[in-house]
Amino acid sequence: MTWGKRRAIVIGLLILALIVLVWAASKPTAMRIPTNGVLVINASGEIEEQKAPDIFSALNGTTPIVLHDYLDAIDTAATDSHITGLVVRIGPLETGWAKLEEIRTHLLNFRKSGKPSICYLGYDGIQNPEYYLASACKEIWLVPTAPVSIRGMMAEALFLRGTLDKLKIVPEFYHIAEFKTATNMFTEKKFTPAHREEVEGLLHSVYNQYLEDASSGRNMDRAQFEALLNRGPFASSDAVTNKIVDRLGYWDQVQDYFKKRDGKWSPISLGSYRSSVSNDGTERIAVVYASGLIVSGDSGSTPAGGSVMGGDSVASDIRAARTNSGIKAIVLRVDSGGGSVVGSEVIRREVELADAVKPVVVSMSDVAASGGYWIAAPARKIVADRNTITGSIGVLIGKLNVSGLYNLLGMSTDSVTTSDNASLFSSQQNFTPAQRDYIQKSLDQTYADFTKGVATGRKMTVEAVDKIGKGRVWSGSQGKELGLVDELGGLDRAVEVAKNLAHIPAGESVRLVRYPEERSFFQELLQKEKDTTSESQSLESMLRHIVSQMEPVQARIPYELHIR
């Protein structure tokens, strides 16, 4: 056999193997739900709105679990005769308060089914966010040695000015207006009066919601629950005595509970059960996801795996939904603290065009502020969770002068320019007086565009927008009072609003078409090949792209604020 024939056989076998893999990955597998099944949900870490599947997930036919998987599975289990109960195993959470509020709302609805629901606290790190979620279950079980570290709530921000001073790095940032505090982490060593006022307002809004919801979930008087918080944290025995939890127990005892009740223990994981969730309906509504830092160009991911929202990519998704005659309305699901003004404007324009054709409803997740609010303003209706961080109508620009650090390290640079402004964003010098004039003019113009866009979209005067703008962030509840938000609720409420605007009967089921669309294994493989051969999609290029977004005028929030 010649070498050419052997090579042809090898290539043929490889192609055949690839076809088999593609077929196996795309072949649907029916899941048989056992009688008396118990849905077991693991809730920990960060819960994301969207996450592109990697090639290995696509190969085995799975996709990462995201927020709507939690919500849809809980709702389906409530009416599924094969499901007799629900257990949520809660570990340390790194997600925002609005997403927790949405999951919690669906857990409360599950309680109405009469089926048992247990939130199992079997891990270290049970604090306010974890307990907030747990309070939605009918019963809370706690491992006997685990403390419940619920207590008063704190908002904390990181400041780097002292570090920059030690490194001889000079931060030079400008913003509109006094509440636009995203760059305070570089320029300050503690809260400014405006920054403190803003954070205190947001903290107390979230705290009051926590008190109201958790006390109701535990059938306590609000004042009684707040008194307990002021005494916390609690040892496990004290948690039972004070009715913070219902009982102490281990995981095997949770299993025994269902064995005695149902005759057996038949757990079903969220990853398996979500394939049973139906998405049927005659009419279709698009759900377009807009998550992460806003940049101009295409969407991607950060080195840490987070989402980067490309203006062109999201605009393309909205355009696809707009031009699809089978889609009756669009829900834009926003989870972003902003970023590029250019990227934001590209999306905003597409939202405006879409709403002229069919109803566009914005659903706000954990954060929909600054650039995230910029893209939301033209929508016909805006729905936010009560704990959503929104607003932050303001802009900023600036840079770090690292010439002092270079001198400290014995390094130096030299340059040749063709004009005075060629060095505008040079990291080796401060802005010149002429450059500061240009920057102020850019800030004024961008802020005017921002407030005008919000005023037009929200049917307010520019003066009224400026009054509640100035860069200040608000909670969803506060935003509702101020006219930045139309209704309070989660994604399900936004879909109901969209149905109503599209004249779809309230009782009629709709099919949700999600953008960006999930890719098959073969599509993922082709995309991966494209990514590895395209310099524009390389890690190095993505890092450069993200860093470059710091140069123009930005619309973003103080993303280093943590409320726990």
Q: What is the 3-state secondary structure (H, E, C) of 31-83?
A: CCCCCCEEEEEEEEECCCCCCCCCHHHHHCCCCCCCHHHHHHHHHHHHHCCCE
> Helices (DSSP H) in 112-174: which residue ranges?
128-134, 161-166
Residue positions annotated with a catalytic role: 180, 370
Q: Distance between CA atoms of 426 and 406, rounded to whole angstroms? A: 13
Spell out the CATH class of 37-151+232-276. Answer: alpha beta
372 Cα distance to chain centroid: 11
Q: Are the beta carbons of 334 and 290 closer than 8 angstroms?
A: yes
Position 540 scores a pLDDT of: 45
Q: What is the pLDDT of residue 4?
A: 63
| Domain ranges within the chain, ordered by starting residue | 37-151+232-276, 283-413+420-558
At residue 544, the pLDDT reads: 45
Domain 37-151+232-276 and domain 283-413+420-558 have a common topology: yes
> Which tens digits make up the pLDDT trace of 253-311?
999 999 999 999 999 999 999 988 888 888 999 999 999 999 999 998 776 667 899 99
Task: Return averaged pLDDT per consecutive 10 residues of the chain, 564 residues in all.
Answer: 63 62 49 84 94 56 84 96 96 95 98 97 94 98 96 92 96 90 92 94 95 97 96 95 97 97 94 88 95 92 78 97 97 95 96 98 97 97 97 93 95 92 92 94 95 97 96 96 97 97 94 82 49 44 46 59 72
The reply to whether the predicted model has a pTM over 0.85 is: yes
* pLDDT value of position 557: 64
Strand stretches in 160-275, DSSP E? 170-176, 247-248, 266-269
Which two tokens mark 76? 């389906």
* Model pLDDT, residue 10: 60
Non-local CB neighbours of 13 within 8 Å, separated by 6+ positions: none
CB contact set of 500 (below 8 Å; sequence gap of 6+): 506
The pLDDT value recorded for residue 5 is 62
- Strands (DSSP E) found in 349-393: 360-369, 381-384, 389-391
pLDDT of residue 399: 93
- The correct answer on CATH 3.20.20.70 for the domain covering 283-413+420-558 is no
Tell me the pairing of strands 307-310 and 300-301.
Answer: antiparallel
